[in-house]
């Protein structure tokens, strides 16, 4: 028996997606679809770090505020942020005002400016498991919070100096960016992710 539930349009979806229209849109159009590009993956990495300890809807509803505050998550621009920029961010109600997460976002950009173009994309995607070895989850209980791959990705990123990326955050990144397909087996979005 599947945990997928019918939405107002009659389509079956992962149950977490049905609580708000924002979630339905994110679930149907973005979550689990492959994301490539250093800046694009840096944005997702930062947002997942900011989400730690909070609900994803809090981040999703402030996403445009985050994009404005962090220069569209352009690594080269965020890397130049000064202490004054950090203070500005701490006063910005459009984002989550957490000093440690803001510091990590800027520090991570500085680390990534030392990498070759495409290196972040290559590193993250090198941890994508073989999809043929992962059966489609039927129930939410079948979806892990951490995997061996997310532990390895977290370790690899930390080894390179990237902060605020534990195994659970790394797995959420893998789910959001399409490295794994954790849409439930009966979910309308499952087949649309690749």
What is the distance, to the nearest Å, from the Cα of residue 32 to the centroid of all Cα atoms in its chain? 10
Dihedral angle over CA of 143, 148, 149, 152, nearest 10:
140
4 sits in the region (left: phi over 0; alpha: psi -120 to 50; else beta) called beta
Q: Which of 23, 31, 42, 48 is catalytic?
A: 48
- 89: which residues sit within 8 A by CB, 6+ positions away? 69, 70, 81, 95, 97, 102
Active-site residue, 42 included: no
Strand partners, 6: 12
Per annotation, catalytic residue among 16, 56, 115, 125:
56
The strand ranges marked E within the chain are: 5-6, 12-13
Catalytic choice (26, 30, 115, 125): 26
- Whether the CA torsion 167, 172, 181, 157 is positive or negative: it is negative
Q: Check if 56 is active-site.
A: yes
**26 catalytic per annotation:** yes
Active site residue ranges: 26, 48, 56
């Amino acid at each position: 028996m599947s945990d997928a539930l019918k939405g107002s349009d009659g389509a079956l979806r992962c149950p977490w997606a049905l609580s708000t229209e924002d979630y339905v849109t994110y679930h149907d159009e973005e979550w689990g679809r492959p994301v490539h590009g250093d800046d694009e993956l840096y944005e997702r990495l930062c947002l997942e770090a900011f989400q730690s300890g909070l609900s994803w809807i809090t981040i999703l509803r402030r996403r445009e505020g985050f994009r404005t505050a962090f220069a569209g998550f352009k690594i080269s621009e965020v890397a130049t942020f000064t202490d004054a920029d950090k203070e500005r961010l701490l006063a910005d109600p459009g984002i989550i005002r957490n000093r440690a997460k803001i510091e990590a976002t800027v520090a991570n950009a500085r680390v990534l400016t030392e990498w070759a173009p495409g290196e972040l994309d290559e590193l993250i995607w090198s941890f994508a498991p073989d999809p043929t070895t992962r059966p489609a989850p039927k129930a939410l209980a079948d979806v892990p919070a951490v995997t061996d791959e997310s532990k390895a990705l977290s370790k690899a990123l930390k080894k390179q100096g990237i902060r605020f990326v534990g195994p659970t955050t790394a797995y959420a990144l893998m789910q959001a960016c399409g490295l794994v397909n954790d849409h439930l087996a009966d979910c309308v979005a499952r087949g649309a992710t690749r």
